Amino acid sequence: MAKKTVKDIDVKGKRVLVRVDFNVPLNNDGQITDDNRIRAALATIRYLLDLEARLILMSHLGRPKGEPDDKLRMDPVAKRLEDMLDRPVTKVDDCIGEIAGDAVAGMRDGDVVLLENLRFHPGEKKNDDNFARQLAELGEVYVNDAFGTAHRAHASTQGVTEYLPGVAGFLLEKEINMLSKVVDNPERPYVAIIGGAKVSDKIGVLDNLIGKVDSLIIGGGMANTFLKAKGYELGKSLLEEDKVDAAKELIGKAEQKGIELLLPVDLVVAPGAEPSAESKVVPADAVPEEWMALDIGPETAQVFGNHVKDCSTVVWNGPMGVFEMEPFAQGTIAVAQALAESSAITVVGGGDSASAVKKAGVADRITHVSTGGGASLEFLEGKTLPGVASLQDKEEG
């Protein structure tokens, strides 16, 4: 998937429209609690500024419903970015129209403008052609460096490429290269660890991986559905009854292809998902009737960890339990530590898995922590990402 990058275009003195992923978490006071996504875009931003481009940055923030929301304005992001770059960042109160146009018209080489939240306009998520055209009119060339939204066919990720030549930023390039390596040419043995709450969210990726991995580890709430498929009673545990047959099929496919499928052998259970709830460890086939599985047990964590040690490529997407609550976080943290201690190429999907390796204090010991949860999952599923497909291809030779 060779796409042109910022290094393949002339940007000096040009208006460069850059889609970044500045969808950072904010507290109740509107303060940024984690600026990793801003930091992830700095390499591309600084490269373009060093070449005296006129930088127009655009992003969404949170989930506004297609209209302005004062709690989700980009002002805190502009301030943080200004501190990081040590240069002024002009935040504009809209992303299209006269306000945005006037701000861009007044730019000089090396200036930085940050547009208002894209999702204040319904045309962004609808990939509205008129909205995309108005965004495109602000720039002369387009750069996508927002891997976290590359799986969305939105106006700022796909629509603008109908009007502007599009290339990848360094972050997007790194994500594609790293994920392509584990999907297309992994060092073996290759194991995928898939967790999270629902099988339905990940049936596609499991089906795709069964044809490519040497072994598959399943944990988290979704493992309950697989345990049910094996005939276990799971008490009040979260599981998808309508996906039990799909789980049986996947178990059968793994057996047919000679792929080792590892499921929990013990579980941490409690009467409810509360941090203060009484909890205990039980065998995976012995969940009490009024209790629910909320984490993998210590024996399972050890089995999973030992398996990882013998592999050369490890991909992990999804936590092993309700890791936001301390009593049910130990399985997820154990898996994170096993990856950190492994000599394998380790790739962690974004979202909760990225939060988990950070919480465990081992993010710097993982080969690659993706910035996009949904995007990395769809890539592993073998799907085409619209935000990548719409960029210009590199000429061969």
| Residue 122 pLDDT exceeds 80 | yes
16-48 pLDDT, tens digit each: 999 999 999 999 999 999 898 999 999 999 999
- Of 141, 175, 160, whose CA–CA distance to 37 is shortest? 175
Q: What is the rounded average pLDDT of the residues 97-107?
A: 97
Is 198 labeled as catalytic in the residue annotation? yes
Q: To the nearest whole number, what is the mean pLDDT of the chain?
A: 94
Q: Write down the pLDDT at residue 331.
A: 96
Task: Provide the pLDDT confidence category of residue 1 given band limits of 50, 70 and 90.
Answer: low
Catalytically annotated residue among 126, 133, 181, 198: 198
Q: Which two tokens stand for residue 359?
A: 């919480």
Q: Using pLDDT thresholds of 50, 70 and 90, give the confidence band for residue 143.
A: very high
Residues whose CB is less than 8 angstroms from the CB of residue 177 and which lie 6 or more positions away in sequence, other chains included? none
Quick: pLDDT tens for 291-328: 999 999 999 999 999 999 999 999 999 999 999 999 99
CB within 8 Å of 122: residues ≥ 6 apart = 66, 67, 128
Q: Kindly state the average pLDDT of the residues 96-100.
A: 97
The domain made up of 6-170 is a member of CATH 3.40.50.1260: yes
- Percent of the chain's residues with pLDDT above 90: 85
Cα–Cα distance, 53 to 211 (Å, whole number): 45
374 is catalytic: yes
Amino acid at 160: V
| Given the residues 123, 220, 235, 351, the one annotated as active site | 351
The three-class DSSP label of residue 154 is coil
**196-210 in b/e burial notation, b at 16+ Cβ within 10 A?**
bbbbeebbebbebbb
Domain ranges in the chain? 6-170, 178-380
pLDDT tens digits for range 215-260: 999 999 999 999 999 999 999 999 999 999 999 999 999 999 999 9
Q: Please report the pLDDT score of residue 397 as a whole number.
A: 52
Q: What percentage of the chain reaches a pLDDT higher than 70?
A: 99
Identical fold for domains 6-170 and 178-380, yes or no, is yes
Residue range 178-380 forms a domain whose CATH class is: alpha beta
Catalytic residue among 3, 4, 37, 73: 37
> What's the pLDDT score for residue 278?
95
Among candidate residues 62, 110, 305, 374, the one labeled active-site is: 374
Give the CA count within 13 Å in the CB-facing half-sphere of 156: 30
Active site residue 37: yes
Residue 248 burial class via C-beta count within 10 angstroms: exposed 0-12, middle 13-18, buried 19 and up: middle
- Is residue 396 scored above 70 in pLDDT? no
Question: 259 Cβ partners below 8 Å, 6+ apart?
Answer: 210, 213, 214, 215, 216, 253
